Structure 1
């Protein structure tokens, strides 16, 4: 399933890159900054944000972070289990 997600993110990156390459030549700032050009610039920036997010996933920058969070989650679960065991032990003595 991991490779399917990577394949999808690769496809999304390629589509967004193609959209940016089609849109950039059509944005002309020669006439000054108006609503149409402002929208075009905002749209290209948003597409670049999408490209960056997909590349971030494809490069696996968060893998180490996910491993660390999993270790923290396991430690918290062990603490919770120890507290639960202590409560049940005290409750059985009554």
Structure 2
């Protein structure tokens, strides 16, 4: 639970940074090095937000549970096949 709180804070901080930075990026002067850096920085901050939201929403937990179900089904299938071969 403590870990999720930490990721929530990271999302809020990164979102605040993006909300402050986006209005300051001006593309009226064309695409120069400063504006390019600003755009790349915002994209990186959005990736940080996305990664932390991914963790907060528990997508990894859902994937892990689905993979565990598949693994158990395979083990059960192998056990049935092994029992069938022993019965011959």
* TM-score (norm. length: structure 1): 0.70
Structure 1: gaps spanning 5 or more residues: 80-94
TM alignment of 1:7-86, pairs within 5 A:
7-71=5-69
Between structure 1 and structure 2, the one with the greater Rg is: 1
Structure 2: gaps spanning 5 or more residues: 79-88
* TM-score (norm. length: structure 2): 0.75
